Structure 1
Amino acid sequence: MGFDQGLRARKRAATERSIATVALEMALERGYEKVTVDMICETSMVSQRTFFNYFGSTEGVILGKSPAFPSEELAAEFIAERGSDVLGDLVRIIATAVSSREPDTSLFQVRRKLIQPTPS
């Protein structure tokens, strides 16, 4: 059963990455405003239902997942600690949360390239 879960997770991650890659490439090529869910689904060969299982909207696929927040355990640990390096500890828990959220740096870079010139 563990193998099936691992395979399922890998397939899900590959599908999510494929949809995001298609959407980002289309947005870079045509402009964000000219890309629709239908276009993304047709090009990435997925149904709208599949698209919406992964992303809630065109904006969602372009922006990626919502910003990561530290886990309750990390937040409780930060609050409970009385260390002298508060800023260092805070940076550590934020970095941990962020790195667990967007492991694909190539998608992150494309998102940044797309969003920087048109932050709205």
Structure 2
Amino acid sequence: MHDFPHIPPAASPAPGLRERKKAQTRSDLERAAVELALDHGPDDVTVDDICARVPVSHRTFFNYFDSKEDALYGIRRAWGDRELVSTQLGEAYDGDLVAAVVHTLFRGLPAETSDPSLHEARMLLAARDSGVVHRRLRRLGDLRDGLITAVAELIERAEEAGAAIADPDVDRESRAEMLVVVCIGAVRIAVREWADAGATGTADEVAARTVAIARSMGTVL
């Protein structure tokens, strides 16, 4: 796997009060959905149940999510926002591009998923219901195109900072696409291993395993 020099990410302004309140409401809705699903099963949870537990109105719920499943599985409309994906990848990057890509995929935009206990509760739900794993993993594709663009930009910055070009015959976009595809595959493998083993590891351990899998496949990059 090609090593890149450290490139400090651009500083991001601290979120204001309104943004923090919105993030808290989103987190509360996700937590309510996951806790209800753990108690009753995903199929028996309704939007009414989630709204009553927080509590918020239906209108508020649909300001954040398009469906019960989106709240339950942590699916964000922002995953289709390429500028935001690029920002999140840049904030995760500390010189290790593989880990940054995995972190962005695994956390599902890390700045918006800052509660490890919620993430691990969702993983526990996935371990109980294999269908949850498959549905959530399919949504990784929502991040793919934005990540490829962001990774290509980081590779360009790294080369400008002095990184050697791994293969001058392969353009940045192709290298970025290969890296993202490898990391998505590694996430799928690591999460399935975790579920098959009975959900005995933490979210951080699964992320570390994902990075290791991606590195083991890295000779193609």
TM-score, with structure 1 as normaliser = 0.71
Cα distance, 1:102 vs. partner?
2.1
Cα distance, 1:65 vs. partner?
2.9
- Runs (4+) of structure 1 exceeding 4 A deviation are 66-70
Residue in structure 1 matching 2:123, options 100, 112, 115: 112
Q: Tell whether the 8 Å contact from 1:65 to 1:101 is kept in structure 2 after alignment.
A: no
Instruction: Give 1:25's aligned residue.
Output: 35
Q: Tell whether the 8 Å contact from 2:23 to 2:112 is kept in structure 1 after alignment.
A: no
Cα distance, 1:58 vs. partner?
1.2
Paired amino acid for 2:86: S
Instruction: Give 1:71's aligned residue.
Output: 86
Q: Whole-Å Cα distance in 2 between the matches of residues 101 and 43 of structure 1?
A: 21
Instruction: Give 2:6's aligned residue.
Output: none
Note if 1:50 corresponds to 2:60.
yes
Q: Structure 2, unaligned stretches of length 5 or more?
A: 1-12, 132-221
Question: How many residue pairs were aligned?
Answer: 105
Residue in structure 2 matching 1:12, options 12, 17, 22: 22
Deviations 1:20-58 (A, max 9, x none): 111111111111110000111122121111111111111
TM-score, with structure 2 as normaliser = 0.41
Q: Whole-Å Cα distance in 2 between the matches of residues 101 and 92 of structure 1?
A: 18
Q: Whole-Å Cα distance in 1 between the matches of residues 111 and 17 of structure 2?
A: 20
Q: Whole-Å Cα distance in 2 between the matches of residues 90 and 13 of structure 1?
A: 27
Percent of aligned pairs with the same amino acid: 39
Deviations 1:51-89 (A, max 9, x none): 1111111111111035968528x69xxxxxxxxxxxx84
Q: Structure 1, unaligned stretches of length 5 or more?
A: 76-87
Instruction: Give 2:50's aligned residue.
Output: 40
Instruction: Give 1:81's aligned residue.
Output: none
Instruction: Give 1:103's aligned residue.
Output: 114
Alignment root-mean-square deviation, CA? 3.0
